[in-house]
Amino acid sequence: MSEGRSTSIGGVINRLERIPQVFAIELNNLSSLDRPRSLNRSSQYQGFLLLLEWVMIVGGLLILTVTEEFNPTIPFSALLLVSAFTLRGVRTGAFITRTGLEVAWGIFLFSALVSTAVAYNSGTALLQFYRILAACVIYYSMVSCSDKQLLWLAAGFLGAAACLAIYWPLQHDFSVLPGKLPVITNGGLWINAHLHKIPGPSIHNNVAAGTLALSIPFGLACIWVSLRQRRRGLLFFSTACTLVVCAGLFLTSSRGAWLAVGGTASLAALVWLQQRLSLPAGKRFLYWLLAFLLGAAMLGSLLVSASPDQVLGQVPGADGAFQSRIRLWSQGLSIARDYPFTGSGLMTYWMVHSVYAMPINVPYIAHSHNTFLQVWIEQGLLGVIALMLAALAVLGWSWKAVTRGFAPAWGWTGLAALTIAFLHGLVDVVFYVERTLPLVGLPLGFAYLLNRVPGAQPQNPAIGMTSQQKRFLGILLLVTCLSALIANHRQLLSLWYSNIGAVMQSRVELASFDPAQPEQSGLDGIRQTADLLGAESAFEKALQWNSTNRTSLQRLAQIYLSRGKYTEALSSMRTAWEAGYQDEITRFLYSDALVAGGQLEEAASILGGLSWAGYRLHYQAWYRYWLTQDYARAANAWRTVLILEPENRDAANWLHKAEEELK
Domain total of the chain? 3
* Co-location of 230 and 156 in the same domain: yes
pLDDT of residue 96: 81
pLDDT of residue 310: 57
Cis status, amide bond into 340, omega within 30 of 0: no
Is-contact 411 448, C-beta < 8 A? yes
* Co-location of 160 and 202 in the same domain: yes
pTM score of the predicted model: 0.85
Is-contact 129 112, C-beta < 8 A? yes
Strands (E), 301-415: 314-316, 322-324
Residue 180 counted as domain residue:
yes
* Co-location of 585 and 607 in the same domain: no
Which residues are CB-contacts of 600 (< 8 A; sequence separation ≥ 6)?
Answer: 594, 636, 639, 640, 643
Measured CA to CA, the distance from residue 286 to residue 289 in angstroms comes to: 5
| Beta-ladder partners of 315 | 323
* Co-location of 516 and 611 in the same domain: no
* Co-location of 645 and 579 in the same domain: no
Q: What are phi and psi of 106, to 5 degrees?
A: -60, -45
| pLDDT beneath 70, residues of the chain | 1-45, 302-322, 405, 453-466, 470, 518-521
AA letter at 646:
P
pLDDT in tens, 107-151: 999 999 999 999 999 999 999 999 999 999 999 998 888 888 899
Return the sign of the alpha-carbon dihedral for residues 175, 178, 182, 184: negative
Is-contact 149 178, C-beta < 8 A? no
Q: What are phi and psi of 212, to 5 degrees?
A: -65, -45
pLDDT in tens, 291-309: 888 888 877 776 666 666 5
Measured CA to CA, the distance from residue 61 to residue 16 in angstroms comes to: 68
Residue 320 counted as domain residue:
no
Residue 550 counted as domain residue:
yes
Which residues are CB-contacts of 377 (< 8 A; sequence separation ≥ 6)?
Answer: 332, 335, 336, 339, 343, 344, 349, 352, 368
Measured CA to CA, the distance from residue 62 to residue 51 in angstroms comes to: 16
Is-contact 354 360, C-beta < 8 A? yes
Q: What is the CATH number of the domain that holds 525?
A: 1.25.40
Q: Which domain holds residue 658?
A: 598-663
How many CA atoms does the CB half-sphere of 253 hold within 13 Å?
Answer: 17
pLDDT of residue 144: 85
Measured CA to CA, the distance from residue 80 to residue 57 in angstroms comes to: 7
Among 232, 253, 274, identify where a domain stops.
Answer: 253
Residue 387 counted as domain residue:
no
* Co-location of 583 and 495 in the same domain: yes
Residue 169 counted as domain residue:
yes
Strands (E), 273-324: 314-316, 322-324
* Co-location of 523 and 607 in the same domain: no
Phi-psi region of 100 (alpha: psi -120 to 50; beta: other; left: phi over 0): left
- From residue 387, alpha-carbon distances to 58, 63, 101, 380, 381 in Å are 26, 27, 10, 11, 10
* Co-location of 562 and 603 in the same domain: no
AA letter at 39:
L
C-alpha 464 chain-centroid distance: 34
Residue 613 counted as domain residue:
yes
Which residues are CB-contacts of 255 (< 8 A; sequence separation ≥ 6)?
Answer: 180, 313
Among 207, 233, 253, identify where a domain stops.
Answer: 253
CA angle centred on 355, ends 354 and 357, rounded to 5° = 65
pLDDT of residue 179: 87
Is-contact 212 244, C-beta < 8 A? no
* 36 SS3 class: helix
pLDDT, averaged across the chain: 85
* Co-location of 249 and 154 in the same domain: yes
* Co-location of 518 and 608 in the same domain: no
Is-contact 101 157, C-beta < 8 A? no
Residue 453 counted as domain residue:
no
- Dihedral angle computed from the Cα positions of residues 447, 451, 454 and 459, in that order, rounded to the nearest 10 degrees: -150
Measured CA to CA, the distance from residue 508 to residue 523 in angstroms comes to: 10
Which residues are CB-contacts of 215 (< 8 A; sequence separation ≥ 6)?
Answer: 157, 158, 160, 161, 162, 245, 417
Strands (E), 535-656: none
Measured CA to CA, the distance from residue 663 to residue 498 in angstroms comes to: 44
Measured CA to CA, the distance from residue 625 to residue 217 in angstroms comes to: 58
Among 253, 282, 297, identify where a domain stops.
Answer: 253
* Co-location of 553 and 642 in the same domain: no
How many C-beta atoms surround the C-beta of residue 44 within 10 A?
10
Which residues are CB-contacts of 417 (< 8 A; sequence separation ≥ 6)?
Answer: 214, 215, 216, 217, 218, 442, 443, 446, 447
- Nearest residue to 59 (alpha-carbon basis) of 85, 81, 88, 87: 81
DSSP structure string for 1-29: -HHHHHHHHHHHHHHHHHHHHHHHHHHHH
* Co-location of 507 and 580 in the same domain: yes
pLDDT of residue 519: 62
pLDDT of residue 29: 43
Is-contact 49 91, C-beta < 8 A? yes
| Beta-ladder partners of 316 | 322
Residue 527 counted as domain residue:
yes
Measured CA to CA, the distance from residue 541 to residue 546 in angstroms comes to: 9
